[in-house]
Structure 1
């Protein structure tokens, strides 16, 4: 979905997924223009686990390829782009992008809706974000414990509240498909899956220390903190091996 008012996105193809090359500053400016223009955008924060899932599931691949903006959230995606000779400017972490958009949003009094996680986490997240960014308005929130029969009710509530930003915190195999399925009905300018960000914002969990962030090893901190994630993390070395094996074919659409 494009409009003449919006800048053309510079991308690198990672297995047909158009990953944005911009850094945080350009990404924030673009999404600011998106909200002002009221053009609905699904933003996906791509990591190797999601890319590997897309390679195994054609419907998920379609969702990633059709998203209006895919940012390089995972260090592995940043590495892959450099490996194929089309480096991105920097990693654009979804957690940081969330905060940057709210910081800018204070200047515009943007309205925000939060969807996902547990009742306790979502309520505390809404409270803390409203305190941290008093210039924005958290117009509504709902936990992630709902099924397909509840979708119409949730969509109607969001449409009535007409937020500028919708953050969805569910599992990646749920949040991206949900946004993709309903983004036209939702008609929110910025719709972004934020995974476990609400857990961190609410204080339920901690983000990786700065040293892990600087070493681009937040994934290692998460694995050490939650050893049960090891099965999911197996996708990381698999992704690296696949990129090294495929070489010139990484940038081709499959």
Structure 2
């Protein structure tokens, strides 16, 4: 019998309340049982997009587990009086899964960003986790006409884990559309994680993460993200204004 994930709904999006360790164990058990799992690592920008676009929200709800990647989600759940255990970021979850993967010799496929960055990320991860097998690394710059070819390539290699970085607007909808044909036990969108893993960008120091200012650290490295980041204060103001309405949805017990 499948384990029920304790959740808190933030504007109708069910976020897992599990800790990082609990999440890793849950996903490991799913892989062992041969149950396909689509993980969304969500932030306030994705929640706001879901509020504006019903089709995006519908797409998110088709995933199997949504983890609180953004510090703003952790803050919103706390403000609403139904806190999550902790922030579960995509990049940290990726590393934790590869630690488990070393024990089981899992096969990994990396998809997204430029070919140079994805190959550098693959090399870095292979050095850190020599017992996992990175069976493929492909850039994410392809259009819908290439979808079937890319999906077939991944399915043929039969990886246990597929990490996808194609931008929030493309990444999750692409996974939802092709997950059945991919036949990969665990599929997760990882946003800009490959930029950090490859060494192109630096991750914020832990003290910056603790004070929930990682977004600013990243913005200083990538000023072009400013228009996207302007959604964050809008989300915070909305949560403060709505108060008890934030989580007013049916929640798992």
- Residue 63 of structure 1 deviates from its aligned partner by 1.4
Q: CA deviation at 1:37?
A: 1.2
Query: What is the CA deviation profile of residues 26-60 of structure 1, one whole-angstrom value per residue up to 9, with x for unaligned ones?
Result: 00000101111121111011100111111111111
Distance 1:220 1:172 in 2: 19
User: What is aligned with 1:12?
Assistant: 8
| Partner in structure 1 of residue 82 of structure 2 | 86
What do the CA deviations read for 1:169-194 (whole angstroms, capped 9, x no partner)?
Answer: 11111101100111111121110000
Contact 2:121–2:198 at 8 Å: present in 1 too? Answer: yes
1:253 CA drift (Å): 4.8
Counterpart position of 1:99: 95
Equivalences, count: 250
TM-score normalised by the chain length of structure 1? 0.96
Give the structure 2 partner of residue 33 of structure 1: 29
Displacement over 4 Å in runs of 4+:
none
Quote how far apart the aligned CAs of 1:217 are.
Answer: 1.2
**1:239 counterpart = 2:235:** yes
Structure 1: tracts of 5 or more residues without a match: none
Computed over aligned residues only, the root mean square deviation of the Cα atoms, in angstroms, reads 1.2
What is residue 45 of structure 1 aligned with on the other side?
Answer: 41
Q: Which residue of structure 2 aligns with residue 217 of structure 1?
A: 213
Q: Which residue of 2 aligns with 1:193?
A: 189
TM alignment of 1:71-220, pairs within 5 A:
71-220=67-216
1:80 to partner: Cα distance: 0.8
Q: Answer whether contact 2:68 2:88 (CA < 8 A) is retained.
A: yes
Any stretches of 5+ residues in structure 2 without a counterpart?
none
C-alpha displacement of 1:87: 0.4
Distance in 1 (alpha carbons) for counterparts of 2:15 and 2:45: 15
What is the CA distance between 1:211 and its match in structure 2? 1.9
State whether residues 11 and 21 of structure 1, in contact with CA within 8 Å, keep that contact through their aligned partners in structure 2.
yes
> Is the Cα–Cα contact under 8 Å of residues 201 and 221 in structure 2 kept in the other structure?
no
SS at 1:66 equivalent: coil
**Does the CA contact (< 8 Å) of 1:78 and 1:87 recur in 2?**
yes
